[in-house]
């Protein structure tokens, strides 16, 4: 059985995926806040891991918003 295809993105490609400046992703990758790895002297990103990371971030934001809304009602 063949493993699912994994697309590896450059810093520029990942920045386009997130619609942000490459330096933003560089800073996040450098401190380990976003899934990334070094290949030679360049950062690389797994597209599937980035999408999963983004979905987890969105869930966390949604959960925080619900807690804040609940606190305002009480």
pLDDT tens digits for 49-69?
999 999 998 888 777 666 566
Residue 17 lies in a domain: yes
**Residue 62, CB half-sphere, CA atoms under 13 Å: how many?**
6
Could you tell me the pLDDT band of residue 2, with boundaries at 50, 70 and 90?
Answer: very low
Total of domains in the chain: 1
Find the mean pLDDT for residues 32-49. Answer: 96
Q: Please report whether residue 65 resides in a domain.
A: yes
Contact 11, 43 (CB under 8 A): yes
Whether residue 3 is contained in a domain is answered as no
Please state the length of the chain. Answer: 74
Domain presence at residue 57: yes
pTM score of the predicted model: 0.74
């Amino acid at each position: 059985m063949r493993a699912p295809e994994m697309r590896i993105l450059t810093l520029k490609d990942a920045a386009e995926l997130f619609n942000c400046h490459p330096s933003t992703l560089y800073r996040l990758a450098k401190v380990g806040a976003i899934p990334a790895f070094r290949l030679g002297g360049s950062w690389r990103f797994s597209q599937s891991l980035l999408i999963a990371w983004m979905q987890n971030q969105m869930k966390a934001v949604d959960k925080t918003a619900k807690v804040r809304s609940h606190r305002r009602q009480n």
